[in-house]
Amino acid sequence: MRLSLARRFHSKLGAPAAATRAAIASSNYSTLPSHNRGTTTPAQHHSSNLSSLLSSRKYTTYSQLPSEHQMVYEMCRKFAEEELMPNAGKWDQKHEFPTDAVDKLAELGLMGINCSSDHNGSELDALSYAIAMEEISRGCASVGVIMSAHNSLYLYPIDAFGSDDLKERYITPYTGHERDENGRLNIGCFGLSEPGNGSDAGAASTTAKDDGDEWIINGTKAWITNAHEASAAIVFATTDKSLKHKGISAFVVPMNAPGFSLGAKEDKLGIRASSTSNLIMENVRIPKSNLIGQPGEGFKIAMQTLDGGRIGVAGQALGIASASIDCAVKYALERNAFGKPIAQLQSIQNKISQMTVARDSARLLTWRAAQMKDNGEKYTREAAMAKLAASEAATMCAHQAIQILGGMGYVTEMPAERYYRDARITEIYEGTSEVQHLVIAGDVLKEYKQLY
C-alpha cells in the first residue's frame, strides 16, 4: 500500500484502528501483496508456516484478514456509518446524485482502488475491493454502484488492455485527483447494452467505421450507470459485421465529443441516487488511438471486464443484505409483542438465521472469487456464483427485513423498503441471474467433458 494512501486511511479511521495502524506502520512493503506476490507481511509470517506465497492464501473471516485489508474494512465501515447512512434516504427520495460523497470516496483513494500508483491509483487488490464495496453499499447502494461502475467497468478495461497513452489520458485523470472543465470529478461509464440487446452482448448494432486517423461511431447504448456525471465512456461497437462477435471492438469515447448526447434519466425502482440513461452517438469522431486493445477484441474485453464487475456487484449485494440484517435485528430487539421483544419469537429467529446464513455464504463465495482473481487464476465461474448467490441473498434479506418490521417495513420512515428496492437490480445488471446459471453450468459441463 502506498504510504500516502495509508496516511489518508489513518486520518479517517480514528482511535478504533490504533492497532491496525501500528501493524501497518511496522510493515516495510510499499504496495499491497497483489502487486508483489512473492512477499508477505510480518504478521503473515508469524501466523502461517504453511507457505510464504500469497498465491495460496484463503481468507474466510474478517479476523483472518491481513492488517491492510482490515484497515480498508474499518475505514469504509466508518465512512458508511458517518457519511452515507444519514443521507442515503434523502438522496433516494430526491433522485439526487451524491456529489459530496463521491468526492470523499475519491479522497479516500476508492475511485481508483485497483489502479497502479503510476496512474494515481491506490494499488489495492480485488479482495480489498470486495470488502470496500460491501461496506460502502451497506451505507448506500447508490454510492456503491457509482463506485463499482467506475472501477470495475470503466477503469479496468483500459488498465488491462489499453495502451500506455490511453492509460495516461483516461486513467490518470480519473482516479480521483482531477476534474473536468465544469469542475466535476472525472468519472467514467461503460456502454455495452443497447435498446435491442442486453444479455446478448455479441449483437452490438453500434458501429465504428475506420476513417483514416479516426473512428466514426454511430449507435445508442442503454441502461448506462453514471451517464449524466461521466466524462468518458467505454463503448463497444462493431468494426466488422461479417465476423459477428469477433468483429466487435472497444473504444474510449470522450463524452464532450461533437455528436455525443444523453437520453433522459430513467425513473428507476431503486439505486435512484445514481443516474441511468442512454448514450447516443451520431457520427462521433475519436482518434484512432482511442481503440482499446486490438480490433476485434471487444467481446473478449467485455467478458473479462464483466467477470471482475460481478465481484463488485456481489459486494454491493452483500452490503444491501448486511444493511437489511442490521435493520431487522435492531428492530426485533426493540419491538415488543405478546409481552416480550419479537426477537424472542421462534419465527423471527428463523428469519434472522436464514438471512445471516445466506449473506455469509455469499460473502465466502465473493471472497473466493476475489482471491482467485488476485492469485491470477481463472475465476469466471466463481465470479458468476458469487454474483448469483449475493444478489439472491440481498433480495431475500431485504424481503425478510420487511416481514420482520411489518407495517414499518413498508414506509419510508424506515430504510427496509429502500433496501428491498435497491436489492432487485443486483439480480439484473452485469448479467441476470439466468445468465449466471448459464455461465456456471457451461463451465461445469466443459470441465466434465474434459474429464470423460
pLDDT score for 16? 35
Cα distances (angstroms) measured from residue 73 to each of 7, 192, 253, 322: 15, 31, 34, 14
The amino acid at 159 = D
CB-based burial label for 413 (10 Å; 0-12, 13-18, 19+): exposed
Residue 209 phi/psi, 5-degree rounding, is -100, 130
pLDDT score for 56? 53
pLDDT score for 180? 76
Query: Do residues 354 and 400 touch, judged by C-beta distance below 8 A?
Result: yes
Distance, in Å, from the CA atom of 64 to the CA atom of 43, rounded to the nearest integer, reads 11
Distance, in Å, from the CA atom of 450 to the CA atom of 438, rounded to the nearest integer, reads 18
Distance, in Å, from the CA atom of 371 to the CA atom of 54, rounded to the nearest integer, reads 10
Nearest to 361 by CA among 350, 372, 353: 353
CB-based burial label for 167 (10 Å; 0-12, 13-18, 19+): middle
CB-based burial label for 245 (10 Å; 0-12, 13-18, 19+): middle
pLDDT score for 75? 97
Query: Do residues 257 and 235 touch, judged by C-beta distance below 8 A?
Result: no
pLDDT score for 59? 86
pLDDT score for 52? 39
Catalytic residues: 430
Helical packing angle, 380-405 and 298-334, nearest 10°: 30
Nearest to 112 by CA among 100, 124, 126, 97: 124
C-alpha cell at 444: 461445469
Distance, in Å, from the CA atom of 209 to the CA atom of 428, rounded to the nearest integer, reads 31
Distance, in Å, from the CA atom of 387 to the CA atom of 381, rounded to the nearest integer, reads 10
Distance, in Å, from the CA atom of 443 to the CA atom of 45, rounded to the nearest integer, reads 36
CA angle 145, 151, 156 (to 5 degrees): 140
C-alpha cell at 384: 458468476
- Tens of pLDDT along the chain (452 residues) come to 444 444 444 444 443 333 334 433 333 333 333 333 333 333 333 333 333 344 456 788 888 999 999 999 999 999 999 999 999 999 999 999 999 999 999 999 999 999 999 999 999 999 999 999 999 999 999 999 999 999 999 999 999 999 999 999 999 999 987 887 778 899 999 999 999 886 676 778 999 999 999 999 999 999 999 999 999 999 999 999 999 999 999 999 999 999 999 999 999 999 999 999 999 999 999 999 999 999 999 999 999 999 999 999 999 999 999 999 999 999 999 999 999 999 999 999 999 999 999 999 999 999 999 999 999 999 999 999 999 999 999 999 999 999 999 999 999 999 999 999 999 999 999 999 999 999 999 999 999 999 98
User: Both ends of the chain: CA-CA distance in Å?
Assistant: 45
Helical packing angle, 3-13 and 18-25, nearest 10°: 170
